[in-house]
Structure 1
Amino acid sequence: MALPTDTKTPAPPPAAESPPINDGFWMRALALFLVSFANMQWYRRWKKSNWGVFYISSTLCVRCCERTRLNEARAMQLVRQHTAIPAPKIYCSFEHKGLVYILMERMPGKPLANGWVFRSDTSKAKILAQLKPMLAQLRNVPRPSPQNGHGLPKVNADVVSGIDGGQFFDGNLPNKRFWGPFNTVKDFHRGLRGNLMVVPDEYTEERYTDLRKLIALQEDYVASPPVLTHGDLSANNILADGDNVTGIVDWETAAWMPAYWEYTNAWHVNPHNPYWQEEVPKFLEAYPVELEMEKLRRRIYDTY
């Protein structure tokens, strides 16, 4: 029978959600009014919303849906403070009646997914050349100290967590959407496989072999400290105007993750657009061993 490991490190103390940003009365009132206005039927027909984003104007939008969290706003704020990545400017973020609202800048440009396969090799190379140093900067963003009593009692560079030490969101992970925090990358790996340390007897021969291999790879893995990770670098979340990168958006999965996570997630990000897999190693450091480890995990748990 499968047994949970008895050597699992206790989880970090529970951490609160990231704090709100500029959430004074008038900013909250403005954001709520704009969402109410943008949600009118005639307006929705005129200005189509997308993935929980209400487009107010060419330079302003509000993010609000069931999976929107304050962690996302803090991630964009942190990125703008420490990098030259064109992430949206945050005007305010707050929670109201169980929903999080983020009033932010609407970035110019169109998603790379719009016509990427029809771009010339020269055009593609120009865009990928801009992305590479941007993502290198993201790896060097320092982990923030707890704000206003939120987050972990002190900065712990080994924790896999949301921006301020709390949970992180990833809709592609098995069984649940919100994960962590984990004290170490090894604890994170164990969490991904339900803390299994031995393979259940009832598994098929193929699955038995795969899971046994995965356990060995993850238990022997020597990890560097987690780094700030976007977590969803698809061609839909990178904007460009011509050959110029104008924005990286949709930071809902941003977290402090294993160094390889950005690469393996970007490689798997869209099963309907396999062309993107060819581009990922051109702007992110490749992790071939970790990619094979993730392919194995996703096959075992039937996750693309």
Structure 2
Amino acid sequence: MLFVARNTSVPVPKVYCSFKHKDRVYVLMQRIAGQDLSQGWTQRSEESKARILAQLKTMTAELRSITPPDGIGVANVDGGPIFDQRLPDKSFWGPFATIQDFHRELRRGLELRDDEEAFSGLRELIEFHNGSWQRPVFTHGDLSSLNIMAVDDKVTGIVDWESAGWMPPYWEYTSAWHINPRNAFWRDAVDGFLTPLPHELKMEKIRRQYFGEF
């Protein structure tokens, strides 16, 4: 949050202090005014939704425009391991020197020979993973309706930054789309503030099918 506050105009909670107690880390921060967007989103008018999504589009574009440090791969904001409880087997991953290295870890090192038979979609997934990539972009990683606060039609804050870091360019979109199966309405909203990436979404669905998502 400190990094975002220093480098963008995106509204985040002000951090007052942090401390460790009995092997747990605590952060004392500002309480953001408003309610999260999961409350009453489906009852909002289309005009109200459009105003909120326009603000989120500007905010996410600003986050993605931050220049990554030289030599950074897939990592948290400080270059250390990323944290994501939705990834299979473990919560901390990396850091990784390249996006391809991160992808290889996600599929548990699987590679295929040219003459090797594979389950449907696997070869396409590996080709996607091993392709050429732009540099990682700064990503919130958990843009659920539960983590976006608003008063009326004004976004007052984005919270829950524990999964933020330097991630593949598609990660924000596919993570937001999959984030909360119980809030299926949010999937339509995501296309209103992030560029739809249907091919990348298809690849993530294949990865989750074969290599787990939780």
TM normalised by structure 2 equals: 0.93
| 2:106 and 2:211 in contact (8 A); partners too | no
What is the match of residue 142 of structure 1?
A: 67
Pairwise mapping of residues 1-304 of structure 1 onto structure 2 (< 5 A)? 76-143=1-68, 155-157=70-72, 159-198=73-112, 208-219=119-130, 221-303=131-213
* Alpha-carbon distance in 2 for matches of 1:114, 1:281: 19
Aligned length: 211
- SS of the equivalent of 1:283 reads coil
Letter in 1 for 2:139: T
- SS of the equivalent of 1:256 reads strand
| 1:79 and 1:141 in contact (8 A); partners too | no
Q: What per-residue deviation string (whole Å, max 9, x for no partner) do you get for residues 230-254 of structure 1?
A: 0000100000000110110011111
* Alpha-carbon distance in 1 for matches of 2:79, 2:213: 26
- SS of the equivalent of 1:125 reads helix
Letter in 1 for 2:8: T
- SS of the equivalent of 2:146 reads coil
TM-fit CA distance, 1:105: 0.8
Letter in 1 for 2:176: A
TM-fit CA distance, 1:214: 1.5
Moved over 6 A (4+): none
* Alpha-carbon distance in 1 for matches of 2:30, 2:67: 24
Q: What per-residue deviation string (whole Å, max 9, x for no partner) do you get for residues 72-110 of structure 1?
A: xxxx00111111111011111233331111111111110
CA RMSD across the alignment: 1.6
Identify the structure with bigger relative contact order (alpha carbons < 8 Å, sequence gap 6+).
2
Give me the identity figure in percent: 53
Letter in 2 for 1:229: T
Long gaps (5+) in structure 2: none
- Structure 2 CA distance for partners of 1:280 and 1:236, relative to 1, 3 Å: same
Long gaps (5+) in structure 1: 1-75, 145-154, 200-204
TM-fit CA distance, 1:288: 2.0
* Alpha-carbon distance in 2 for matches of 1:243, 1:296: 36
- SS of the equivalent of 1:239 reads strand
